[in-house]
């Protein structure tokens, strides 16, 4: 059960294929049954480049209900807040995709913290609830590449930043949610 308030921020994080997206979708389903407002699925993802990613995206899309409107928000999800209304709910999947795209598109990953902070602040002020999905990359081997270590550091900082300001935080491991906050 998650808190019933407007402008709620929930972080759902875990490793790759841990079940974090599925859990976040269950939270959104719960909110949908309890609240009025519009429900959105924000994705910063670029079009998939290979068959494996196309298949993964297809599974995610097919799993989403019709009432969850998809918004391809690109690298600046905060831009869309002004078009939403108090009481609306956003499932943002995922923080790691946003940070990774920023790195791939020659932007400093350091800017991802400012973009996420702007997104959180604007949504909170507008009374829009957020369920953010993020990747836990600190419980694995240290990357052998400089770029990989940079990404791990950025993700660790982003997860700490979001968790500090979130109303609720869930860690997903092997499909099992653990409420941390």
Residues 6+ apart with CB under 8 A from 162: 9, 11, 95, 116, 120, 132, 134
Please check if 62 is assigned to a binding site. Answer: yes
Q: Is 37 known as a binding-site position? A: no
100 and 154 Cβ atoms separated by less than 8 Å: no
Q: Residue 113 annotated as binding?
A: no
Coil, helix or strand for 76? coil
Instruction: Judge whether 28 counts as a catalytic residue.
Output: no
Kindly list the distances between the CA atom of residue 176 and the CA atoms of 28, 93, 167, 173, in Å, as whole numbers in the listed order.
17, 18, 20, 5
Is 61 labelled as part of a ligand binding site?
yes
- The structure tokens 């690109």 sit at 74
Say if residue 175 carries a ligand binding annotation.
Answer: no
Catalytic hit among 60, 101, 122, 153: 60
Answer yes or no: is 7 a known binding residue: no
Q: Is 51 annotated as a binding residue?
A: no
| Positions marked catalytic | 60
Binding residues are 14-21, 61-64, 72, 93
Binding residues for GTP are 14-21, 61-64, 72, 93
């Amino acid at each position: 059960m998650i808190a019933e308030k407007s402008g709620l921020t929930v972080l759902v994080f875990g490793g790759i294929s841990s079940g974090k997206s599925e859990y976040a979708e269950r939270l959104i389903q719960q909110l949908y049954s309890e609240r009025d407002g519009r429900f959105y699925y924000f994705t910063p993802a670029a079009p998939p480049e290979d068959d494996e990613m196309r298949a993964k995206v297809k599974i995610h899309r097919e799993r989403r209900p019709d009432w969850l409107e998809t918004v391809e928000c690109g690298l600046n999800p905060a831009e869309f807040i002004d078009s939403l209304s108090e009481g609306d709910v956003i499932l943002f999947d995922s923080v790691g995709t946003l940070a990774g795209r920023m790195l791939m598109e020659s932007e400093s990953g350091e800017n991802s913290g400012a973009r996420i902070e702007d997104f959180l602040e604007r949504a909170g002020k507008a009374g829009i609830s957020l369920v953010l999905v993020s990747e836990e990359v600190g419980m694995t081997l240290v990357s052998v590449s400089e770029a990989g270590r940079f990404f791990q550091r950025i993700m660790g900082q982003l997860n700490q930043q979001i968790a500090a300001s979130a109303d609720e935080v869930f860690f997903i491991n092997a499909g099992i949610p653990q409420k941390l906050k």
